Structure 1
Amino acid sequence: MEVISFLLLSLTFQTKTWRAPSSWNEWLTLPIKYCDLPASAQFAITVWDTSIGPRKVKPIGGTTLRLFGKQFTLRKGKHKLYLWPDCEADGNHETTTPSKLKHNDDNDMNKLEKLVKRYDCGDIRPVEWLDNLAFRQIEMIHKNASNVSNELALYIDLPKFDFPVVYGEMEYSLPGPFTSILHHGGQTTNELQSQIQQETPMITAMNQPIYPDNASLDTNNRDNFQNIHYSVVLDPDFLRDNPVEAKHRRLVRSHRNGPLDRDLKPNPKIRDELNSIMSYPPTQPLTPEEKDLVWKFRFYLTRDKRGLTKFLKCVLWTDPTEVRQAVDILPLWVDIDVDDALELLGKEFENRSVRTYAVDQLRKADDDDLLLYLLQLVQALKFERIDDKTEASYDSSLVQFLIERAINNPILGTYLYWYVMVECQDKKYGKMYAKVAFHFFGELLEIPDGYDRRDELRRQGQLIDELSKLSKNIRASKDGRMKKIDKLRSVIGDPKGPLHDFIPLSFPLDPTKQVSGLVPAKCGIFNSNLQPLRLVFKCADEQEYPVLFKTGDDLRQDQLVIQIISLMDKLLLKENLDLKLTPYKVLATGPEHGLMQFVQSSSLAAVLNEHQNNVRSFFKKHHPSSEPNNVYGIDPKVMETYTRSCAGYCVITYLLGVGDRHLDNLLLSPDGHLFHVDFGFILGRDPKPFPPPMKLCKEMIEAMGGADSQHYMNFQQYCYTAFITLRRNANLILNLFALMVDANIPDIKIEPDKAVMKVQEKFRLDLSEEAAIAHFRGLISESVNALFPQILETVHRWAQYWRR
């Protein structure tokens, strides 16, 4: 009597017993589903002899069969298993009782059995008359082989399927510790895990540490372990394409579908889905289903200017067929807006035809509009992949476009020159920008007055060099501030010096002005850590142009903020909303020096200190009014300017996340213009804890007449209108910030991948306009009632007092 026992996944069970002859024609159902089997699943089959006595068994033979064969395909059909005599199947991964013997592979009988198995599975086409002869001969060979052989064998049948069953999840053997970190008591486990993930990109660290055997598992001491090792395992499939998705994409986007797709029209439901996709912000990625939908209706979307960027994001740029179809459809698309053209010049789009198309759309912009985006367009050159090793020519439509417009417009040419010269000092892209500057000067010399314009740009550079040397010498001096001012004026007033009088040239900060020297008596030094110079230039029209020249400070962040404020001001003016903004000019002339326009004004802290915390008395002193309908005795235009400018800067500084707001960097002019300066902290960064959403102290509201006044009501309404207007232009602003991610802006450089999202979060594009207004109303209330900033403002005032 024999008994067969099975071991599968540590589940042991035995079959019925039977006597010779040893055959059993019944199906055995295993208590486990195919989907629950691991790739390493195997049968461990043992045949037992139970005839030797009661409760005594002896193994006749055992064998181990892996359920998954080559390419992780589930075995099926008939199988001949070799039984290892007098031993039990071990079921180990490296088994000593395998179901097949390597030396038997060349055996004629085994070859015939493999052919029979293929025939049984339907892999060999049946021919009845030939099959009868063949099987009769096979039976004879099998009988003769069985009489000669001493080997034990077990024949089993496994279920058959009409298609191969493949294991869907690959298993990989884990390597040894990939990264070993010495764990010190001052660093927590979570910090170590974060450090691993930062230092090894595209690598997943194990969530649990491997503690030493002698370590205590007390949670209070867990962070004090001296040696903790983490196993870091690479995911080999991380960057691989899914073959099923790739096949689906090729079928859906075949050239053969083109004629059919041209006439496709979406039904109302699909049209709503497409409109929803078109309204996505530029930062939102599309799902595979959304990409397929946009691709399917691409010809229908050619009439929607918002659809081009979404369509191009659906293209797999490594597939030549898709690229060819995408490029062919570009001329069919309706003209896109500037914000979409700027998006196509970002780092996501490297295709030359797409970038050329975007430049062609920018050609429609006039010089004034182009000046608003010039800073970002210069940064977009980093994504043009210009070969800095080629001296003969350049193949960039953006470079050609910028040089062409800069030559035709000297103002654009001046700004382009300075933007490029600052980037020439960048270690990574400096050579590329130097090549752009070389081509710019080469094209400039081809026009009639090109030599004069080149010489003027050269003299601008010499002027900045002289100012930089003077500023550094003044800062290095150990004299008192008054002696430094005397030294500054003496150097400037030297008739033989380069700064007193010179041939008129266009001023780098404002090329519309021609300057011919400095006014020594009106120059000075500001009382701050960097000691910026206050310089007054003489203009050719006999006017004066006051500026600040700073060294030791990177003004590129201030330059960006002022540029965005200028853009927002123009967007608001297009909607007939004049918020009396003061976007003074800023130009970074190098990584550590630059020029700023000086606007005659006083800090809000100084105004409150001089007028007993009453801003209205400051206005009344400079612009009194005795009109009968005037409540405060102030010119109504001044109060209106103050109210509008307060609203404008509250909205803008909130959207840009401007931090470090105190009453010394809020300036107020006698005609009512309030504006902000010193943008050293943006995108939500702030050196003070718990900053309010916007700077709106009680003194500012009291100047409007209090929270119940009509001016305050107007202020709120201006805020709501400005927020909604700028929110409608969010894509343009977001795309401008996206082009600045590699621009070495300090607060963007901290987290370049999150910079755009930080701005997008402030717009709350997920809300309707009514909900967005309600949200902003709450922000105003939160800013007005914030107590902690008032305490910090008091501390700041005392600190400034003792510093003086």
Structure 2
Amino acid sequence: MEPFTFASSLDLKLAVAVKVSRLEGYEKPLPYSTLLKRPDLRHRGSNLSPNSELYITVQPFADSKPLTVHAQTPYKHFKNGRIWNQWLTLPVDYSTLPANTQLAITLWDLSPINPKGGDQGHHIPFGGTTIPLYDDNATLRTGRQKCRIWRHKAADGYSDTTTPWQERRRRGRRGQEEETVVVDEKQSRREAELERLVGLMKKHEMGEIAENKWLDQMVFRQIEKLERQSVKDSTRPKHVSAVGDGAADGQQDGEATTSVCAEGDPDHVDGSFFLYIEFPRFDHPIVFTDHEYPPPPISSIQTTPSQTTAAVNFKPPPEVQLGPGIHSDGNGTSDTDGGGGSMIRIYDPEIGYADNPAETKHRRLIRGQRNALDRDLKPNPKMRDFLNRVMSYGPTVELSDKEKDEVWRFRHHLTRDKRALTKLVKSVNWIEPAESRQAIALLPKWAEIDVDDALELLGPGVQNPAVRAYAVDRLRKADDEELLLYLLQLVQALKFEPEHAKEDDETDSSLASFLIARSAANLRLGNFLHWYLMVELDDEAPSQSERNKKLFARVSYDFMKDLEASAEGRARRKVLLRQGEFITMISKISKEIRNSRGDRLRKIEQLKKMVADPKNDMLNFDPPLPLPLDPDIKITGVIPEECNVFKSTLLPLYVNFKTDTGDDYPLIFKTGDDLRQDQLVVQIIALMDRLLLKENLDLKLTPYRILATATLAGAVQFIPSAPISSILGSAKYKGSILGYLRFHNPATADSPSVLGVRKEAMETYVKSVAGYCVITYLLGVGDRHLDNLLISPDGHFFHIDFGYILGRDPKPMAPLMKLSREMVEGMGGSASDPASDSQFDSFRQYCFTAYTTLRRSSSLILNLFALMQDANIPGLAVFGGNESSVGKVEERFKLDVGEEEAIALFAQLIEREMGAWGPVLIDKLHGLAQGWRA
């Protein structure tokens, strides 16, 4: 198929225009017998002169209805012919027109007497024609068009118009052959020549034929003569023959003999007229494109299975008797329905847009009758259990109508329960002003909510400004370190702020103002807020909407303006500007290294030369520059001789910096890779580490620092360590993790040891393996192999490379949790003999404690993922339908069972993954693939 270049009608933001060129036609004068019967016809303009003044109206129609008012030609006096050459512009754009748009063009004659009588004016239709704006291929018509004029008729614009611009091809009755019109050979040749000349004329108008003014004028006049002759030929009687019974009906559309039209004027047989018009031409064909409306929202009143089981049934469910042909499974087929018809499901477009009037009335009756009594209402024991069950629901559970009504009914009693505020917000009908006012009045009386509930109130489901402001007030009580844990999600929560204009045009919302104020007062917060905003404003993020880009640009501008308000703030702004220059330079170096030719050794030498070049300003930072990755670290320059390029497809850079304390700080810088997902996972790991430390459980996690500086660029902290694959292949470590730990942490007489390893190092290893087993299981981290499992010399075990999360994995038979035989042997094996020194039982206990601790904070973790749903991170956007990233994490918390049962399920998971052969096979295949690549 050949390529076809076209433009969409939706992009044509131009008013519809048509050029009325001229009217060509011929008819014999009225006979005197007719003038004697109708003396008023003598004074009609078209009967007084063959070039009498006419005017034209053009009006668009669709589905037999006018789309706008008509446009009209100005008065013009004609001498030798009815020639207007006038462009008419209609007050409607091409982009808004449907595909079946027609232009109804009517020529109006002047008459002293209107046959219709009354005050209809002195204009009567001379003739009309109706031409579709789009052809049969839905392509906009352009250029010159020849339209037949139907005498004494106004153009109707109907879908089945009686004034078509071209004569329809006439056929006989059903089952009969076409009528055959016999014309002489000379006329046929003349029409063929005229058709050829018109085609050349269109090419001339498109610039495909060179212009020659004096010769073109002669040709145009000759073509006009041929067109006039063609019009006269069309008025001659035609010999019509047909086959079948229909031939006897010989009357043809529009050519009735001596018939009288509705207004009493004779319709002459020996006359016809054609109007020549012209449509605008465009560089490309314009193809009709319909406007794509967003899908209507699905009603939020849905009952999930978990709700159904949790709800208390006060009455038994009613029995439902299905009629014939209706099956409860929706198939519509049944062996017992006697062959009844199938049930057809019809989607109601009002669902999601309009409220159910019956439900609205029910809600008003239930909630409006006891408002005065609700203040002192207290639940009985049965209702208290019901409300406690509702309060235990996670943030993703939608409340049923019964649960919403009871939460609203006991709202005053629930003010002492901090968990109940989010449930009340879900229960309020915010469209009802009375309910909204009562709910907002309760906010100051409510018990102080936790941070996880505040984050839920900042999500997309809450639009009331007062409720969101209340959530922000709760965040004000968090210190800067805690706020930094949620800052990534709070930046995303700015998208969900309701839009409201302010007279002084100040931004934005209470959340934006809060983040700006806190970040301007703290260098660490300001550093990360700035870079989170820079990523959202990156031009290489096409999925970001224009509205969100404007929002983040405004917040960034206000943040910089707030920094300018003080001397300390101006200094911090200069730091951010210097960081931007530093990131720009290192990104440029990374791209040049990646795109340069040569092997890896040559690229390493090129990197060292580039960072040592004084023009790149990488050797010395004066004053010391706070590192964007960790602003507590102030770097003074690069150490060129220690720079390196890793073996990888994207060739990440290893860059070592000197700090103001005399230490080194190595980092990895990547371009071409989206690090936002890794940044999110590491942030969640850091949060989980903080939650565990609050419970006095230090699992020696290593949430190394990672910062995306653009959509496809970022920096990663380098932790000195070795992958398990290299440890197992090293003779120095005797091919085992235990040998690696013994080599770096040998047992001494001065300190206690376990399995020949210093006790502190072994505890670090066991705890960190337990912590990462639990965390990677909860986050569904995939693509786990021995190359992305690392151990540092002091025993810290950790994971890297989080390209697959939430249960996704590129390999089949992927484990739910990575716990290989080699990892267990590093603890002394899984022997249960009390006399052995195996640390496996301690590992299991750490796993159980960590899992139960994180389950208690599941709402916080789920709310953080909920706020990241619209962050355009590829790994979070792959789920469709009823699946979501929040649901994938929630199902691994096992919130539908008790704590003891959850621990038992996790114990079974450990036993299953230890003995699984699938991960062993995956590791073998991965090792073979890596060796083949090398």
- Same fold by TM (over 0.5)? yes
Do 2:296 and 2:349's aligned partners in 1 also have CA atoms closer than 8 Å?
no
Do 1:406 and 1:412's aligned partners in 2 also have CA atoms closer than 8 Å?
yes
DSSP 3-state at the match of 2:567: coil
Do 1:388 and 1:431's aligned partners in 2 also have CA atoms closer than 8 Å?
no
DSSP 3-state at the match of 2:635: strand
- Please state how far the C-alpha of 1:632 moved relative to its aligned partner: 2.0
1:406-443 alpha-carbon deviations (Å, 9 max, x no partner): 01111100000001111113531111100000110111
- 1:251 pairs, out of 355, 365, 374, with 365
DSSP 3-state at the match of 1:750: coil
Residue of structure 1 equivalent to 2:430: 317
- Please state how far the C-alpha of 1:612 moved relative to its aligned partner: 4.1
- Quickly say closer, same or farther: Cα 1:310–1:659, change in 2 above 3 A: same
Do 1:282 and 1:734's aligned partners in 2 also have CA atoms closer than 8 Å?
yes
Do 2:587 and 2:713's aligned partners in 1 also have CA atoms closer than 8 Å?
yes
- Please state how far the C-alpha of 1:252 moved relative to its aligned partner: 2.3
Residue of structure 1 equivalent to 2:738: 616
Q: Is 1:751 paired with 2:879?
A: yes
- Please state how far the C-alpha of 1:231 moved relative to its aligned partner: 9.5
Do 1:613 and 1:699's aligned partners in 2 also have CA atoms closer than 8 Å?
no
Residue of structure 1 equivalent to 2:533: 420
- Quickly say closer, same or farther: Cα 1:541–1:391, change in 2 above 3 A: farther
DSSP 3-state at the match of 1:675: strand
Amino acid at match of 2:568: D
Amino acid at match of 1:680: G
- Quickly say closer, same or farther: Cα 1:373–1:236, change in 2 above 3 A: closer
Do 1:386 and 1:432's aligned partners in 2 also have CA atoms closer than 8 Å?
no
- Please state how far the C-alpha of 1:259 moved relative to its aligned partner: 2.7
Do 1:625 and 1:633's aligned partners in 2 also have CA atoms closer than 8 Å?
yes
DSSP 3-state at the match of 1:313: helix
d(CA) in 2 for partners of 1:376 and 1:436?
15
- Quickly say closer, same or farther: Cα 1:390–1:515, change in 2 above 3 A: farther
d(CA) in 2 for partners of 1:622 and 1:495?
40
d(CA) in 2 for partners of 1:365 and 1:201?
36
Q: Is 1:512 paired with 2:632?
A: yes
Provide the TM-score with structure 2 as the length reference. Answer: 0.61
Amino acid at match of 1:474: I
Residue of structure 2 equivalent to 1:370: 483
| Runs (5+) with no aligned partner, structure 1 | 1-197, 210-229
Note the 1:77-96 alignment, pairs <5 A.
none
- Please state how far the C-alpha of 1:377 moved relative to its aligned partner: 0.4
Q: Is 1:531 paired with 2:651?
A: yes
Do 1:474 and 1:484's aligned partners in 2 also have CA atoms closer than 8 Å?
yes
- 1:305 pairs, out of 418, 428, 432, with 418
- Please state how far the C-alpha of 1:235 moved relative to its aligned partner: 2.0
Residue of structure 2 equivalent to 1:155: none
- 1:763 pairs, out of 889, 893, 907, with 893
Note the 1:78-477 alignment, pairs <5 A.
233-239=346-352, 240-254=354-368, 257-386=370-499, 392-425=505-538, 426=541, 427-428=544-545, 429-477=548-596
- Quickly say closer, same or farther: Cα 1:548–1:722, change in 2 above 3 A: same
Q: Is 1:663 paired with 2:786?
A: yes
Amino acid at match of 1:751: F
Amino acid at match of 2:360: A
Query: Number of paired residues?
Result: 585
Amino acid at match of 1:398: L
Do 2:585 and 2:616's aligned partners in 1 also have CA atoms closer than 8 Å?
no
- 2:768 pairs, out of 645, 651, 658, with 645
Amino acid at match of 1:722: A
- Quickly say closer, same or farther: Cα 1:481–1:395, change in 2 above 3 A: closer
- Please state how far the C-alpha of 1:781 moved relative to its aligned partner: 1.0
- Please state how far the C-alpha of 1:451 moved relative to its aligned partner: 2.0
Q: Is 1:722 paired with 2:850?
A: yes
Do 1:692 and 1:782's aligned partners in 2 also have CA atoms closer than 8 Å?
no
Residue of structure 1 equivalent to 2:908: 778
Do 1:607 and 1:615's aligned partners in 2 also have CA atoms closer than 8 Å?
yes
- Quickly say closer, same or farther: Cα 1:201–1:292, change in 2 above 3 A: closer
Amino acid at match of 1:466: M
- Quickly say closer, same or farther: Cα 1:389–1:799, change in 2 above 3 A: farther
- 1:521 pairs, out of 630, 634, 641, with 641
d(CA) in 2 for partners of 1:496 and 1:421?
25
d(CA) in 2 for partners of 1:470 and 1:207?
62
Amino acid at match of 2:443: L
| Runs (5+) with no aligned partner, structure 2 | 1-293, 300-328, 333-342, 832-836
Residue of structure 2 equivalent to 1:70: none
- Quickly say closer, same or farther: Cα 1:302–1:509, change in 2 above 3 A: same
- Quickly say closer, same or farther: Cα 1:608–1:291, change in 2 above 3 A: same
- Quickly say closer, same or farther: Cα 1:487–1:386, change in 2 above 3 A: farther
Do 2:736 and 2:822's aligned partners in 1 also have CA atoms closer than 8 Å?
yes
- Please state how far the C-alpha of 1:629 moved relative to its aligned partner: 6.2
Do 2:620 and 2:637's aligned partners in 1 also have CA atoms closer than 8 Å?
yes
Q: Is 1:740 paired with 2:868?
A: yes
Do 1:641 and 1:673's aligned partners in 2 also have CA atoms closer than 8 Å?
yes
Residue of structure 2 equivalent to 1:632: 755
- 1:675 pairs, out of 772, 788, 798, with 798
DSSP 3-state at the match of 1:365: coil
Do 1:387 and 1:432's aligned partners in 2 also have CA atoms closer than 8 Å?
no
- Please state how far the C-alpha of 1:321 moved relative to its aligned partner: 1.5
Amino acid at match of 1:774: A
Amino acid at match of 1:479: G
d(CA) in 2 for partners of 1:391 and 1:740?
31
Do 2:752 and 2:759's aligned partners in 1 also have CA atoms closer than 8 Å?
no
Identical counterparts, % of pairs? 53
DSSP 3-state at the match of 2:771: helix
d(CA) in 2 for partners of 1:650 and 1:665?
14
Residue of structure 2 equivalent to 1:800: 930
- Please state how far the C-alpha of 1:274 moved relative to its aligned partner: 0.5
Do 1:456 and 1:506's aligned partners in 2 also have CA atoms closer than 8 Å?
yes
Amino acid at match of 2:366: V
TM-align CA RMSD: 2.2
- Please state how far the C-alpha of 1:267 moved relative to its aligned partner: 0.5
Do 1:522 and 1:535's aligned partners in 2 also have CA atoms closer than 8 Å?
yes
Residue of structure 2 equivalent to 1:547: 667
- Please state how far the C-alpha of 1:386 moved relative to its aligned partner: 4.4
1:70-91 alpha-carbon deviations (Å, 9 max, x no partner): xxxxxxxxxxxxxxxxxxxxxx
- Please state how far the C-alpha of 1:623 moved relative to its aligned partner: 1.2
- Quickly say closer, same or farther: Cα 1:400–1:237, change in 2 above 3 A: closer
Greater length-normalized contact order (CA 8 Å, ≥ 6 residues apart): 2
d(CA) in 2 for partners of 1:514 and 1:355?
37
d(CA) in 1 for partners of 2:345 and 2:655?
59
- 1:694 pairs, out of 817, 838, 860, with 817
DSSP 3-state at the match of 2:529: helix
DSSP 3-state at the match of 1:285: coil
Amino acid at match of 1:635: R
